[in-house]
């Protein structure tokens, strides 16, 4: 499969690299690193990394505008996105050939060639494998970006139990001298107002009977802390390992887009099947959803509570 992807990259002079809406470091690092690698290998190609960016991730590089290309002669590579509706790009169907490279559970087929490995840590790990197993070239800057993406998606290797990833990281560290403190600083540096918002969440989080921790962040609260919906939702990553909490979620009101964005995490119960009921999806233990009313958000909390209840009962059954 990796060789087939390489052949397609070699064949097309114009290549567009897209990823999911709601950019995150893994999605953006994988697309910019792949773009740099293709240009390093084939300097004459036109390669565009597209989608809405975020000032927060500008250290990963700049994104391109999708213009002045003949889609019917171009290759589209979609990274880190299991379904067509979440691709942050237009004209998907106009491309001559489409490739998907993803580590989410399968949702739907919408590309000619699909590399889906949901046991892999990140889109960046899949791009790394592509670079190491084909003739695509790599350099320090490309490897640094891919390292940042995989560190981000594994939460500094917290969620990774795959020995092949550790072997890969060891190989990279032998080959390139990465300044890890500097890279971590780029990824994790945040303004004081975000830390204050985290404190607010810690103080006000509610917990249901069966261990669902949640907080509704209204637009007013988000503005009071000078945060935005994206950074408020990202706080969800900071609440692992709390005795009383098995599943936790941030419910952020996005008044401008008339939507309520929900970020969900779990340290046991499977949550993506619940997220799917609420216009969402994702991984077993890291999912997201979108609803339009607080009543729907409450139903989602209720469903998650039931999932936790079943999980607790199953665990008690195992212990007996
Ligand atoms: P996040 O909380 O935004 O970091 O998302 C966690 C995981 O859930 C990622 O794999 C996302 O791609 C996925 N995800 C988030 N929101 C949605 C959604 N509305 N629909 C499908 N998948 C989602």
Summarised one tens digit per residue, pLDDT across range 75-85 is 999 999 999 99
318 has pLDDT over 80: no
**In degrees to the nearest 10, what's the CA dihedral of 163, 7, 104, 93?**
170
Q: What percent of the chain has pLDDT over 70?
A: 100
Check if 289 has its Cβ closer than 6 Å to any atom of ligand 1: yes
55 has pLDDT over 90: no
Distance, in Å, from the CA atom of 81 to the CA atom of 277, rounded to the nearest integer, reads: 18
Query: Can you tell me which residue has the tokens 């060639």?
Result: 113
Nearest atom within ligand 1 for CA of residue 233: 2
Check if 82 has its Cβ closer than 6 Å to any atom of ligand 1: no
| Alpha-carbon distances, residue 170 vs 147, 164, 167, 233 (angstroms) | 11, 10, 5, 32
Summarised one tens digit per residue, pLDDT across range 148-190 is 999 999 999 987 778 889 999 999 999 999 999 999 999 999 9
Q: What local confidence, expressed as pLDDT, does residue 144 receive?
A: 97
90 has pLDDT over 90: no
Residue nearest to atom 12 of ligand 1 (CA): 282
Check if 286 has its Cβ closer than 6 Å to any atom of ligand 1: yes
231 has pLDDT over 90: no
Q: What local confidence, expressed as pLDDT, does residue 222 receive?
A: 95
Taking all residues of the chain, what is their mean pLDDT, rounded to a whole number?
94
Give the mean model confidence (pLDDT) for residues 11-17.
Answer: 97
What is the 317 CA–ligand 1 centroid distance (Å)? 31
Which residue from 19, 20, 22 has its CB within 8 A of the most atoms of ligand 1, so it is best to mutate? 22
Give the mean model confidence (pLDDT) for residues 109-115.
Answer: 97
Check if 290 has its Cβ closer than 6 Å to any atom of ligand 1: yes
Which residue from 282, 284, 300 has its CB within 8 A of the most atoms of ligand 1, so it is best to mutate? 282
Q: What local confidence, expressed as pLDDT, does residue 186 receive?
A: 95
- Cβ–Cβ < 8 Å for 213, 265: no
- pTM tops 0.75, yes or no: yes
Summarised one tens digit per residue, pLDDT across range 253-276 is 999 899 999 999 999 999 999 999
Q: What local confidence, expressed as pLDDT, does residue 265 receive?
A: 97
Give the least confident one: 153-162, 241-250, 251-260, 303-312. Answer: 153-162
What is the 195 CA–ligand 1 centroid distance (Å)? 23
Query: Can you tell me which residue has the tokens 């993406």?
Result: 149
Summarised one tens digit per residue, pLDDT across range 33-44 is 999 999 999 999
| Alpha-carbon distances, residue 82 vs 30, 79, 98, 115, 139 (angstroms) | 15, 9, 13, 10, 28
Q: Per the structure block, which two tokens stand in for 271? A: 């949550």
Query: Can you tell me which residue has the tokens 């600083």?
Result: 185
Residue nearest to atom 13 of ligand 1 (CA): 282
319 has pLDDT over 80: no
| Alpha-carbon distances, residue 161 vs 26, 35, 41, 179 (angstroms) | 18, 29, 33, 24
| End-to-end alpha carbon distance in the chain | 46
| Alpha-carbon distances, residue 49 vs 35, 36, 42 (angstroms) | 7, 10, 16
């Amino acid at each position: 499969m990796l060789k087939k992807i390489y052949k397609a990259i070699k064949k097309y002079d114009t290549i567009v690299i897209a990823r999911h809406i709601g950019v995150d470091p893994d999605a953006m690092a994988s697309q910019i690193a792949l773009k740099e690698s293709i240009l390093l290998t084939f300097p004459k190609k036109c390669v565009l990394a597209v989608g809405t960016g975020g000032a927060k991730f500008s250290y990963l590089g700049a994104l391109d505008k999708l213009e002045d290309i003949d889609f019917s002669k171009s290759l589209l590579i979609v990274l880190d996105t299991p379904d067509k509706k979440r691709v942050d790009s237009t004209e998907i169907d106009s491309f001559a050939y489409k490739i998907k490279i993803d580590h989410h559970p399968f949702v739907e087929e919408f590309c000619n060639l699909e590399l889906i490995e949901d046991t892999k840590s990140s889109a960046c790990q899949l791009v790394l494998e592509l670079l190491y197993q084909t003739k695509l070239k790599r350099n320090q800057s490309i490897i640094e970006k891919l390292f940042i993406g995989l560190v981000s998606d594994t939460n500094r290797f917290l969620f990774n139990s795959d020995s092949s990833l550790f072997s890969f990281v060891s190989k990279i560290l032998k080959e390139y001298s990465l300044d890890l403190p500097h890279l971590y600083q780029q990824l994790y540096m945040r303004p004081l107002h975000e830390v204050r918002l985290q404190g607010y969440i810690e103080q006000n989080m509610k917990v249901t009977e069966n261990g669902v921790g949640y907080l509704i962040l209204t637009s007013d609260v988000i503005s009071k802390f000078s945060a935005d919906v994206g950074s408020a939702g990202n706080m969800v990553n900071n609440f692992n390992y709390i005795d009383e909490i098995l599943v936790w979620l941030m419910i952020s009101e996005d008044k401008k887009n008339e939507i309520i964005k929900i970020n969900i995490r779990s340290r046991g119960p499977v949550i993506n099947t619940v997220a799917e009921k609420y216009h969402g999806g994702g991984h077993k233990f890291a999912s997201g959803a979108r609803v339009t009313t607080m009543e729907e958000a409450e139903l989602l909390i209720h469903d998650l509570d039931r999932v936790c209840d079943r999980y607790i009962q199953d665990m008690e059954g195992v212990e007996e």
